[in-house]
């Protein structure tokens, strides 16, 4: 008898689970932005400080005012791990701007978000930033107690090289010029190696930077193992 009651309870529960839900619900379709990369190149090669233009199409059936965009750049890795945090380089659908990243291999990703429902779509490209300084002149100039560098390449130096002039490299790469009036400029490089740096001194500071990217290597007393005070004492 107990077994019969048990099976009857199972049948009742199953029947209740299969009962039609007659609740009054409203349904709507969630709009999702779709990034169309048809016909676009998968890899972009550009010199550091060059202008990068990428204009993918985005299909979206809702109010386009709901969409927000992020262009993110992060360093390419041979593993599945991302090296360092991504850097945001633009917030519009069309990327059109100067690339100040250090030379290297990166991923470039567009993230489109529908702010009304947080639906996200993304597309990723390869980005190779190439060194802009090869054979040419580095010119130091000072004005208003500030110093900066220009890079000049002409065919008279290297006939096969493109002619270019890049102004105010420190201001462009770091956001500020060096303090003081220029006093010294040195360049050290070894072929087929990473030995490549620029040393620049003013009457207020001394810096050594990477010869390809102008990223800072050391400044002032950190350029000397024992500090520079002992040099001043010896000079006296």
Mean pLDDT of 160-176: 83
**Which residues is 184 bridged to in the sheet?**
201
Burial 130-157 (b: 16+ CB within 10 A, else e): eebbeebebebebeeebbbbebebeeee
120 and 39 inside one domain: yes
In-domain check, residue 162: yes
CATH number (domain holding residue 103): 2.60.40.10
119 and 172 inside one domain: no
- The domain total for the chain is 2
pTM equals: 0.61
Where does a domain end: 85, 114, 130?
Answer: 130
169 and 223 inside one domain: yes
58 and 125 inside one domain: yes
103 and 142 inside one domain: no
In-domain check, residue 150: yes
205 and 121 inside one domain: no
- Mean residue pLDDT across the chain: 80
DSSP string across 11-65: HHHHHHHTS---------PPP--EEE-TT--SEEEEETT-EEEE--EEE-SS-GG
What is the distance between the alpha carbons of residues 169 and 179, in angstroms, rounded to a whole number? 14
Q: Work out the pLDDT band at 227, boundaries 50, 70, 90.
A: low
In-domain check, residue 235: no
**Can you read off the two tokens belonging to residue 34?**
């779709």
Which comes out higher in pLDDT, residue 146 or 170? 146
Please name which of 120, 123, 109, 116 lies closest in space to residue 64, comparing C-alpha atoms: 116
Where does a domain end: 130, 155, 175?
Answer: 130
Which comes out higher in pLDDT, residue 134 or 147? 147
In-domain check, residue 233: no
Decide if pLDDT at 45 tops 80.
yes
pLDDT tens digits for 9-39?
Answer: 444 444 445 555 555 555 556 678 999 988 8
Q: Residue 193: what pLDDT?
A: 63
Mean pLDDT of 195-200: 85
Which comes out higher in pLDDT, residue 218 or 19? 218
What is the distance between the alpha carbons of residues 213 and 35, in angstroms, rounded to a whole number? 32
Q: Indicate the Cα dihedral angle 116, 120, 121, 127, nearest 10°.
A: 120
Decide if pLDDT at 70 tops 70.
yes
223 and 202 inside one domain: yes
In-domain check, residue 28: no
Q: Residue 19: what pLDDT?
A: 52
Where does a domain end: 90, 108, 130?
Answer: 130
Query: Which domain covers residue 48, as residue numbers?
Result: 34-130
221 and 176 inside one domain: yes
**Which residues is 206 bridged to in the sheet?**
201
Mean pLDDT of 137-142: 92
Q: Residue 9: what pLDDT?
A: 45
């Amino acid at each position: 008898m107990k077994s019969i009651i048990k099976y009857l309870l199972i049948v009742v529960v199953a029947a209740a689970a299969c009962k039609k839900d007659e609740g009054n619900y409203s349904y709507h379709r969630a709009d999702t932005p779709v990034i169309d990369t048809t016909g676009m190149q998968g890899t972009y090669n550009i010199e550091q400080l060059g202008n990068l233009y990428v204009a993918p199409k985005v299909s979206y059936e809702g109010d386009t005012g709901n969409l927000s965009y992020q262009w993110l750049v992060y360093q390419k890795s041979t593993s599945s791990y991302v090296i360092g945090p991504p850097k945001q380089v633009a917030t519009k659908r069309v990327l059109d701007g100067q690339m100040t990243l250090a030379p290297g291999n990166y991923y470039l990703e567009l993230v489109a978000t529908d702010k009304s429902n947080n639906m996200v779509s993304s597309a990723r490209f390869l980005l190779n930033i190439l060194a802009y300084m090869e054979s040419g002149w580095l010119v130091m100039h000072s004005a208003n107690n500030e110093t900066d560098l220009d890079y000049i390449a002409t065919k008279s130096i290297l006939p096969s090289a493109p002619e270019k002039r890049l102004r105010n490299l420190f201001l462009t790469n770091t956001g500020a010029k060096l303090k003081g009036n220029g006093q010294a400029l040195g360049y050290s490089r070894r072929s087929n190696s990473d030995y490549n740096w620029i040393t620049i001194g003013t009457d207020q500071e001394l810096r050594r930077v990477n010869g390809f990217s102008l990223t800072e290597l050391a400044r002032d007393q950190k350029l000397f193992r024992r500090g520079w005070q002992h040099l001043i004492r010896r000079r006296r």
